[in-house]
Structure 1
Amino acid sequence: MTEDEARAALLARQEALAREDAANADARDTVELQQDSVGRLSRMDALQQQAMAQATERRRAAEAVRIKAALARVDEGEWGFCMGCGEEIAEARLRHDLSIPTCIKCAAQ
């Protein structure tokens, strides 16, 4: 994969993350207590759904940081090379995750 292809794919994923985050903003809002119309189990379910949405948001934010760092490496001409040892990262590893910063050997350390 070329750097231009990687940049395009990373930017597309970055945009997708932003759309997903905007679409799920309501699910992370505070759960209002409405004891007259919502039972205890319904509230517990709403709290659990809120917690899951918040965890998903944290995962998306972490991925967005990795993508931003990968785009910086593309701009610097360092994308595809391990940040640990400087060796080339295997093509299969990059296909799995374009934002990966290390080779398998350095990731295992």
Structure 2
Amino acid sequence: MRGRLEALKAELEGLSAGSAEGRKPVELDQQTQGRLSRMDAMRAQAMDQATEVKRRAEIRKIDAALARMAADEYGFCTVCGEEIPPKRLDLDPATAVCVQCARAA
């Protein structure tokens, strides 16, 4: 699982670096770009920024899972302490809670 988590983190960080250009402020100079083009650029920028927020949250979740591995606490629910089923971890190796606690939340 450590390898999967580290690979996923590297992939997310690569995507983040590759999309940095799209998150930059939109040029508002009417001489170089029409109004509709600016609106499209601003919409694309907002989508890129929202995607980056989700990407950063997933990276934090992966970092927390790696920290639990280092502390030998990986695979146990952070709420109730019960073991997280292997199938759940296979679907989302960064998950921190069991199904019951996830439903309760």
TM-score relative to the length of structure 1: 0.91
Measured on the aligned residues, the alpha-carbon RMSD in Å equals 0.9
Q: State the match for 2:71 in structure 1.
A: 76
1:106 matched to 2:94? The reply is no
- Cα deviation for residue 37 of structure 1 reads 3.1
Q: How many percent identity over aligned positions?
A: 48
The yes-or-no answer on 1:66 pairing with 2:61 is yes
- Residues 39-58 of structure 1: matches in 2 within 5 Å? 39-58=34-53
Name stretches of at least 5 consecutive residues in structure 2 with no aligned partner: none
Aligned residue in 1 for 2:10: 15
Q: What TM-score comes out, normalization by structure 2 length?
A: 0.95
Provide runs of 4+ in structure 1 moved above 4 Å: none
Instruction: Tell me by how many angstroms 1:42 deviates.
Output: 0.8
- Distance in 2 of aligned mates of 1:37 and 1:10: 44
* Residue 89 of structure 2, aligned match among 82, 90, 94: 94
TM-superposed deviation, 1:47: 0.2
Cα drift, residue 34 of structure 1: 2.3
Point out where structure 1 has 5 or more consecutive residues left out of the alignment. 1-5
Describe the superposition over 1:43-73 as per-residue Cα deviations: whole angstroms up to 9, x where unpaired: 1100000000000110010001000000001
